[in-house]
Chains A and B, each alone.
Chain A
Amino acid sequence: MSRVAYSVAAALGALAAMIGISGLLGDTWVVTVPWAVPLGGLQLSMDRLAGFFVALIGFATIPVSLYAIGYAGDDRRGALPYVGFVIAMCAVPLAANVMTFAVAWELMALASYLLVVQKATNGTATHPGAPAADGSESHDASPHAGGRHAHDAAEATGAAWTYAVMAHAGFVCLLAGMLLLSAWSGSTRFADWRDTELTPLARDAVFVLLALGFASKAGVIPLHVWLPLAHPAAPSHVSALMSGVMIKLGVYGLFRVSLEWIGPAPAWWGVAILVAGTISAVVGVLYALVEHDLKRLLAFHSIENVGIILIGLGAGVLFLESGLGTLAVLGIAAALYHTANHAAFKGLLFLGAGAVVRSTGTRNMEVMGGLVKRMPWTAAMFLLGAVAISALPPLNGFVSEWLTFQALLQSLQVPHTGIGLVFVGGMAGLALTGGLAMACFVKAFGVTFLALPRSEAARSAVEAPGWMRLGMALLAFACVALGLGPTIVVPVLGLVAGDLTGEVTPLWFGDWLRLDVPGDFASLSTFAIAIALLVAGIVPLVVLRARGLTRRRVYETWGCGRLLQTSRMQYTATAFASPFRRIFDFLYQPAHALHVEAHPESRFFVDAIRYVHETRAVAEDWLYHPLSQALHDVTERIRGVQSGSTNVYLVYILAALVLMLVLG
């Protein structure tokens, strides 16, 4: 049953990919079903941008669904919401009016909510002794620990609740913005909005509302709080889709808002997007660095990557405002490229993390280790994903970050000094993000997969089954293909960006080997780099072999002559992240606590030491906690109105009538 559902989802993905590609290449169409929904009917339309996102959803869904066949096994829960989730996501970029959009958006939120909350009802369906088979995951070191399901359920419920609240707060903003725009333009069709004359104030108001709504879905800091809760709570194939694709629909909305619906954008929109992107990128990766839950770490990286996408978009908006159309295309194409890349490598990493979690029964990196020898396939795939997401050449993450850098560097053509400094900030932020992401994935791969296993669960881990490996291999192939083939991909993305900016001159020169970007002499050939790296790596190997220099002996790790080597002696994830925690303590605001229990006879005989060093989430502490507290206080006060006495309610009705008569 679940196999059928996931196969259907994969087929739907293939269909979406085909439709999306045709749209990406310039196919346009409109479908209207007037009776399906009120207020304008169901209306879908295809253009290049919608085609790009539909193709993205389709291509991500195929491997993830194949993976899910192996991952979910016979577990039937979640299969139908999953199919609904995929369909709803495809409908979002195609929606052509407010009602269609609202229905698709809510359906997507609802389906993903069901998938996140899935484990809250987990307790009875599990077979003891087969902890991995149900796809459930937990923080606990020992997979058989009692109370794990209760813990899981509590975590899933809490995560789903936060997710639901944030999704709806965002939706309220979106709906308010869209309805205002509909009222002012007299039409609920998106296509009619472009030609509406609005006062600058009205446009700014609509922009703020819509941008807040979309940014909360995209996970831009500080609207990100739901993301690191919801992604780990969901099963891994769902996390892969949520992180790889769903949050991208928030980015999709930002593209439409800032470039199409109510454009042309004033400079401050671009500045806001660029600054928000830079902050998200840097802060996202900094939180990821101190996170030791493998899936939460990946979730924080999603925030970082959305930030990088927004840096590209912000640069594009600013260039457009400065009249540099060709450079705007460059920035926007970079953002689109990174969107596709993030879907590929983050999908791959979540699937790899899912395989690890399924095999070890835990998400806690501190009890993993040594998996490269036990799960060689998964390890190789995860390493490839780690190289890609750290933007290391010659894989795909590097291509899009390179393009984003080119866009930022070309800001030397922007005459305005203030805007120039914003670009400089983006440049420094992006460079820092690149370095920190590399550091974080050294930790993620090194602690999880290398060295000695830190627990029995990690020692007895086994390789993932065939379907799961197939899903990962497809995404790994996508990472390599997107990395080596920018000369094919970028011109197509340039067309999408051209549609959005109205810039029609062809911008991409070069041939199959090299990619030239507009501006002076900047070109890139990841293919040539890959070949060169391969040759330069193999030549010394061959030379050494040919000269017979191959002597190798295996002996224990050098430990200054000590007699014992255990996994307790290797660096932990916490230790690895410790320099960052000290350097960036102004952000983490860490809380220290040291409890020493000494023997009653003498304080020099220590029985137990407990040391707590926790980082705090600033956004939660300073923004959400006061907000929810205030909300709580207000509702507490209003509760007094609800006395439950019939007489009082009669008075309310009378008062309301009088008020209406007076005002009427």
Chain B
Amino acid sequence: MLRQLRAALGVGVVTEPPAPASEIEALGVTLRGEIARLFGRSLHIRQVDAGSCNGCEIEISGLTGPHYDLERFGLHFVASPRHADCLLVTGPVTRNMAEALRRTWEATPDPKLVIAVGDCSRDGGIFAGSYAIAGGVADVIPVDAVILGCPPSPKALLAGLLDAMGRLRQ
């Protein structure tokens, strides 16, 4: 126990300052003012895998580690859409996940943001046109912003999320 603690304290803080660049493609971010007022300091995220190859998930899970540490901005991953302000949807939406995604969106209390992550989430990406796919995320639920990349780097994700919260603009 002591050895662990000594190691932790010896290494110190490894978190880097946030990236300024934003690779976000805003689709229809309405209510921008209200969102900034409400979510300026606290945004709880529910991640939904709607059929992704899990490339985006790997990058997303990198956000919670010491290096990027998204919690320092008031961002936090939660376990239930009831607790969430923001759905972070990855992947092309497969037919089997379309209804589940819709229900997740319904289960999230207003006001809420939907951020689609990855190239597939915009239009199906390389899976576009497949019989197994219902389309991009926007074909199923209203999307507020898309973070592009295949997969987007954690830096890009963080910048996109902060942008959506209204922190980078201010």
Contacts and interface: CB of A to CB of B under 8 A. Distances in A.
Contact of A561 (B82, B103, B109, B110): B103
A61 to B, nearest CB: 49
Interface in A560-595: 560-563
Contacts of B106: 555-556
A371 B99 CA distance: 31
Contacts of A555: 106-107
A553 interface: yes
Nearest to B81: A558
Contact of B101 (A551, A558, A561, A562): A561
Interface in B34-83: 80-82
Interface string A601-644: 00000000000000000000000000000000000000000000
Interface string A138-161: 000000000000000000000000
B104 interface: yes
B27 interface: no
Contact of A553 (B80, B99, B104, B109): B109
Contacts of B107: 555-556, 558
Contacts of A560: 100
A551 B112 CA distance: 14
Report which residue of A551, A558, A562 has the largest number of chain B beta carbons within 10 angstroms of its beta carbon: A558
B130 to A, nearest CB: 21
Interface string A543-565: 00000000101011010111100
Contacts of A563: 99-100
Contacts of B101: 561
Interface centre among B99, B103, B104, B110 (most CB of A within 10 A): B103
Interface in B97-152: 97, 99-101, 103-104, 106-107, 109-110
Contacts of A558: 80-82, 107
Nearest to A561: B100
B141 to A, nearest CB: 12
A556 B107 CA distance: 8
A561 B99 contact: yes
A563 B109 CA distance: 19
A263 B22 CA distance: 88
Contacts of A561: 97, 99-101, 103-104
A561 B80 CA distance: 11
Contacts, number: 22
A553 B107 CA distance: 9
- The interface residues of chain B, by DSSP majority, are classed as helix
Contact of B103 (A551, A553, A556): A556
Nearest to B104: A561
A231 B100 CA distance: 49
A102 to B, nearest CB: 65
A563 B97 CA distance: 11
A553 B108 CA distance: 10
B100 A551 contact: no
Residue of A558, A560, A561 contacting most chain B CB atoms (<10 Å): A561
B38 to A, nearest CB: 13
B100 A562 contact: yes
A555 B101 CA distance: 15
A563 B98 CA distance: 11
Contacts of B82: 558
Contacts of B99: 561, 563
Nearest to A557: B107
Interface in A514-566: 551, 553, 555-556, 558, 560-563
Contacts of B100: 560-563
Contacts of B103: 556, 561
Nearest to B50: A561
Contacts of A556: 103, 106-107
Contacts of A551: 110
A558 B83 CA distance: 11
Nearest to A552: B109
A561 B94 CA distance: 14
B159 to A, nearest CB: 29
A32 B81 CA distance: 76
Nearest to A560: B100
A551 B111 CA distance: 11
Nearest to A559: B103
A553 B80 CA distance: 16
Interface in A104-162: none
A162 B49 CA distance: 61
Contacts of A562: 100
Interface string A345-365: 000000000000000000000
Nearest to B103: A561
Nearest to B101: A561
Nearest to A551: B110
Contacts of A553: 109-110
A555 B106 CA distance: 8
A555 B97 CA distance: 19
A105 B99 CA distance: 68
Contacts of B109: 553
A561 B103 CA distance: 6
A560 B107 CA distance: 10
Nearest to B48: A561
Nearest to A558: B107
A560 B109 CA distance: 15
A560 to B, nearest CB: 8
A241 B65 CA distance: 63
A260 to B, nearest CB: 60
Contacts of B110: 551, 553
B46 to A, nearest CB: 10
A551 B110 CA distance: 9
A563 B103 CA distance: 9
A563 B107 CA distance: 13
A558 B103 CA distance: 9
A556 to B, nearest CB: 7
A560 B104 CA distance: 7
B150 to A, nearest CB: 25
A562 B80 CA distance: 14
A555 B81 CA distance: 12
Given A553-B109, A561-B99, A563-B99, 15 more contacts: A551-B110, A553-B110, A555-B106, A555-B107, A556-B103, A556-B106, A556-B107, A558-B81, A558-B107, A560-B100, A561-B101, A561-B103, A561-B104, A562-B100, A563-B100
14 contacts: A551-B110, A555-B106, A555-B107, A556-B103, A556-B106, A558-B80, A560-B100, A561-B97, A561-B99, A561-B100, A561-B101, A561-B103, A561-B104, A562-B100
6 A-B pairs with least C-beta separation: A561-B100, A561-B103, A558-B107, A561-B104, A555-B106, A558-B80
Interface of B: 80-82, 97, 99-101, 103-104, 106-107, 109-110
